[in-house]
Every structure is written in structure tokens, then in C-alpha cells.
Homo-oligomer: A and B are copies of this chain.
Amino acid sequence: MRDQFLEQLQAVFDDLAAICRQVESAVAQATLALMTGDVLTAERVISADVDIDRARERVEDAAFDILSLQQPVAGDLRTVVAALRMVSELERMGDLSVHVAKIARLRVPEIAVPEDARPTIERMAAVAEDMVRRVAQIITDRDVEAAIVLGRDDEEMDQLRRTSFAELLSDDWGHGVEAAVDIALLGRYYERIADHAVSVANRVVFVVTGESPHAVSSH
């Protein structure tokens, strides 16, 4: 019974890591579409989101099967519920990538991000993508230390968001309201992807240690 539980749980975590890699690809491709104005790449991100949604349903069904058939308690129960929450967050990260792709598509044949706003947005996108890549590995390895480090890296995203606002609200901003609104929303989407990445990493810490990252890192 216990072996079967652990085996089923392992399959769920393998699926979570696989979904996380799909999200990583969605973030990367959405950013590519954004920076190049490539409508086909944007369309691919938008239409591929259904695969993430379906994978989410499979994980949910598997988690409910484990809860029903294995009737886990205590830490095992919390682990299965954590997996349900992780898959919701991963799906949401996929949705946010779609939002980025839709802004890219909306501005074709133009490019939504003006030249002098690119460095900050590119850095935001790189930070978000890197965080998603690391979370996939953290899920696979159940790596508590890497998860705690990830939580701290969120600060760079907050700083980038402030830089981006300063750029588009400065007197030198010469790209008008539409580009500013696009960039404010893009910043919000990348920031939320990073927030969810941190949250998924925190759930890995909880699954492995039974404690929140704050409690673990203060030991």
C-alpha cells in the first residue's frame, strides 16, 4: 500500500515537472514572439496552452485517485494537496504566457516593446524564464536549498518592475500611451509568473520538510 502510494505520488511529481517544462517553453516562445513581432510564434503559444490545461486535468485526476484509494493522512495528505495546488499555479503561469503572446500578436506588424524599453523587459523575461526552468529542476530533485534560493531571487523582479515604471513615467518617454500600457501589463504578467514560480518552489520545501521556507531557512 505504502509502496503503491509512493509510486503514484512519484508519477504525479514527474507530471508536474513535465508541465513546468511546458510552461518554460511557453514563457520563452511568448517572449520571442514579443521581441520579434512573429505572429506565428505567438499563435503557437496561444494554441499550445490547451496541452497544459489537459495535462493539468490528468494530474488532478491522478491526485484525486490517490486521495480516494490511498486515503493518505498527515504529511502524505498535505503532499497530495500541495501537488493539486502546484498544478493550478503551473496552469496559471501558462495562461500568463498566453497574455504575453496576445500582446505580441495585437501589435503585429509592429513590435510592442520600443527599442529603449527592451533591456528591462528582456531582463524581466529572462528572470521569469530562468525561475521557471529552475522550478522544474527543483520539482524533479525535491531540492529544498535551491527552492529557498529561488524565493530570494524574486527581489530582482521587484526591482526590474520599479525600473520599468520609472522608464515609462520619465519625461524622456517618447513612445506614447499605448506602448506604456503594454509595458505596464507585460511587467505585471512576468512578475506574476515569477510569483507563482516562488510559490511552487515554496510548496516543494513544504512537501519535503513539512515546514514553510521561512521556518526552514531560519533553522
Residues on A facing B (Cβ under 8 Å): 64, 67-68, 71, 73-74, 77-78, 81, 84-85, 88, 165, 168-169, 173, 176-178, 180-181, 184-185, 188
Contacts and interface: CB of A to CB of B under 8 A. Distances in A.
A97 B46 CA distance: 29
A66 to B, nearest CB: 11
Contacts of A178: 169
A81 B152 CA distance: 30
**Number of identical protomers:** 2
Name the residue among A78, A84, A181 with the largest chain B CB count within 10 angstroms.
A181
Nearest to A88: B85
Contact of A84 (B74, B81, B176, B185): B81
A188 B192 CA distance: 13
A74 B85 contact: no
A106 to B, nearest CB: 10
A151 B64 CA distance: 26
Given A169-B178, A185-B184, A185-B188, A77 B68 contact: yes
Contact of A184 (B68, B84, B169, B181): B181
A77 B67 contact: yes
A74 B81 contact: no
24 contacts: A64-B77, A64-B78, A64-B81, A67-B77, A67-B81, A68-B73, A68-B74, A71-B71, A81-B81, A81-B84, A84-B84, A85-B88, A88-B88, A168-B177, A168-B181, A169-B178, A169-B181, A173-B177, A176-B177, A177-B177, A181-B181, A184-B184, A185-B185, A185-B188
